[in-house]
Structure 1
Amino acid sequence: MGIQHRLRGPVPDVVISTAVAAIALIGAAIAPPGRTGLDAFGYLLLLAGSAALVMRRRAPAAVLMITTTCVLAYLVRGYPGVAAAEPVMVALFTAMRAGHRFVVFVPKVALIVVVITDLTLHHGEPVRQVLQDRFLLAGWLVASAMMGGAFRQWDAYVHEARERAAEAERTREEAALRRAGEERLRIARELHDSLTHSISIVKVQAGVAIHLARKRGEPVPEALLAIQEASGEAMRELRATLEVLRDGEPAGSGLDRLPDLVRRARSAGLPADVTVTGRARDLPVAVDRAAYRIVQESLTNIARHAGPAAASVEIRYGADTLTVRVDDDGCAVPGTPAEPGVGLTGMRERVTALGGRLRAEPRPEGGFTVQAEFPIAGGPEPGGLPVPAPAPALDRAVAEEAAL
Structure 2
Amino acid sequence: MSGYSVTRKGLADAALAVVVGAIAVTVAAFDADTMPVDYVFLALSSAALAFYRVAPRTALVFATAGGAAYGLHAHPGPASALTVFVAVATAASAGHRGWAAAASGVFLAANLATGPTTHDVVERTALLAGWFLCAVVVGQADRNWQAYLRQTEQRAMEAERTKEEAALRRAGEERLRIARELHDSLTHSISIVKLQAGVAVHLARKRGEEIPPALLAIQDASGEAMRELRSTLEILRTDEPTGTPALLVERACAAGLAVDLTVSGAERPLPATVDRAVYRIVQEALTNAARHAGAAKIAVQLAYSEDDLTIRVEDDGTADPSRPPAPGVGLTGMRERVAALGGTLDAAPRDEGGFAVRARLPLREAG
Structure 1 and Structure 2 fold alike (TM over 0.5): yes
Q: Does the aligned pair in 2 maintain the 1:20–1:87 contact within 8 Å? A: yes
3-state SS in 2 of match to 1:147: helix
How far 1:254 sits from its partner (Å)? 1.0
Q: Does 1:106 align with 2:102?
A: yes
| Residue identity in the other structure for 1:140 | W
Equivalent of 1:143, from 121, 134, 146? Answer: 134
Q: Does 1:315 align with 2:319?
A: yes
How far 1:374 sits from its partner (Å)? 6.4
- Give the unaligned 5+ runs of structure 2: 242-279, 303-310, 337-343, 349-353, 361-367
| 1:22 counterpart residue number | 22
3-state SS in 2 of match to 1:8: helix
| 2:75 counterpart residue number | 79
How far 1:84 sits from its partner (Å)? 3.4
Residues 134 and 235 (structure 1 numbering): CA distance in 2 closer, same or farther, change over 3 Å? same
Q: How does 1:284-323 map to 2 (within 5 A)?
A: 315=319, 323=321
- Give the unaligned 5+ runs of structure 1: 261-273, 292-312, 317-322, 328-342, 359-371, 379-404
CA–CA distance in 1 between the matches of 2:330 and 2:11? Answer: 58
Identity of aligned residues (%): 42
More divergent stretch after superposition (241-250 vs 206-215): 206-215
| 1:362 counterpart residue number | none
| 2:145 counterpart residue number | 154
Residues 151-191 of structure 1: per-residue CA shift (max 9 Å, x gap): 22222222222222222222222222222111111111000
CA–CA distance in 1 between the matches of 2:6 and 2:298? Answer: 51
Bigger CA radius of gyration: 1
| Residue identity in the other structure for 1:355 | L
| 2:272 counterpart residue number | none
| 2:198 counterpart residue number | 207
Q: Does the aligned pair in 2 maintain the 1:17–1:51 contact within 8 Å? A: yes
Equivalent of 2:220, from 212, 229, 236? Answer: 229
How far 1:55 sits from its partner (Å)? 2.0
3-state SS in 2 of match to 1:325: coil
More divergent stretch after superposition (247-256 vs 94-103): 247-256
CA–CA distance in 2 between the matches of 1:186 and 1:377? Answer: 31
Residues 337-390 of structure 1: per-residue CA shift (max 9 Å, x gap): xxxxxx7797995686563489xxxxxxxxxxxxx9966279xxxxxxxxxxxx
| 2:188 counterpart residue number | 197
How far 1:280 sits from its partner (Å)? 5.7
How far 1:82 sits from its partner (Å)? 3.7
CA–CA distance in 2 between the matches of 1:201 and 1:168? Answer: 49
Q: How does 1:217-366 map to 2 (within 5 A)?
A: 217-248=208-239, 250=280, 253-258=287-292, 281-282=299-300, 315=319, 323=321, 325-326=323-324, 353=336, 355-356=345-346
CA–CA distance in 2 between the matches of 1:140 and 1:209? Answer: 101
CA–CA distance in 1 between the matches of 2:355 and 2:201? Answer: 42
3-state SS in 2 of match to 1:376: strand
TM-score for both structures, normalised by structure 2: 0.66
Q: Does the aligned pair in 1 maintain the 2:38–2:70 contact within 8 Å? A: yes
Q: Does the aligned pair in 2 maintain the 1:287–1:374 contact within 8 Å? A: yes
Q: How does 1:52-63 map to 2 (within 5 A)?
A: 52-63=48-59
| Residue identity in the other structure for 2:14 | V
Residues 296-338 of structure 1: per-residue CA shift (max 9 Å, x gap): xxxxxxxxxxxxxxxxx9625xxxxxx57259xxxxxxxxxxx
How far 1:237 sits from its partner (Å)? 0.9
How far 1:105 sits from its partner (Å)? 2.1
Residues 78-135 of structure 1: per-residue CA shift (max 9 Å, x gap): 62324431111111121122222232121133245446656xxx43x5x211111111
3-state SS in 1 of match to 2:300: coil
Higher relative contact order (CA 8 A, sep 6+): 1
Q: How does 1:385-396 map to 2 (within 5 A)?
A: none
Residues 107 and 349 (structure 1 numbering): CA distance in 2 closer, same or farther, change over 3 Å? same
CA–CA distance in 2 between the matches of 1:324 and 1:84? Answer: 84
3-state SS in 2 of match to 1:355: strand
CA–CA distance in 1 between the matches of 2:228 and 2:175? Answer: 17
Structure with a larger share of its residues in helix: 2
Residues 351 and 72 (structure 1 numbering): CA distance in 2 closer, same or farther, change over 3 Å? closer
Residues 33-86 of structure 1: per-residue CA shift (max 9 Å, x gap): 9xxx54343332222212222222222211111111223333444623244311
How far 1:142 sits from its partner (Å)? 1.5
TM-score for both structures, normalised by structure 1: 0.61
Count of residues in correspondence between the two structures? 294
Q: Does the aligned pair in 2 maintain the 1:214–1:220 contact within 8 Å? A: yes
Equivalent of 1:170, from 161, 171, 176? Answer: 161
Residues 227 and 156 (structure 1 numbering): CA distance in 2 closer, same or farther, change over 3 Å? same
Residues 6 and 138 (structure 1 numbering): CA distance in 2 closer, same or farther, change over 3 Å? farther
How far 1:246 sits from its partner (Å)? 1.1
CA–CA distance in 1 between the matches of 2:328 and 2:324? Answer: 16
Residues 251-287 of structure 1: per-residue CA shift (max 9 Å, x gap): 5741222267xxxxxxxxxxxxx9x9xx863379x98
Equivalent of 2:173, from 177, 182, 189? Answer: 182
Q: Does the aligned pair in 2 maintain the 1:99–1:152 contact within 8 Å? A: yes
3-state SS in 1 of match to 2:21: helix
How far 1:226 sits from its partner (Å)? 2.7
Residues 326 and 113 (structure 1 numbering): CA distance in 2 closer, same or farther, change over 3 Å? closer
Residues 228-260 of structure 1: per-residue CA shift (max 9 Å, x gap): 222211111110111111115645741222267
| Residue identity in the other structure for 1:255 | A
Equivalent of 2:40, from 37, 44, 66? Answer: 44
Q: Does the aligned pair in 2 maintain the 1:61–1:103 contact within 8 Å? A: yes
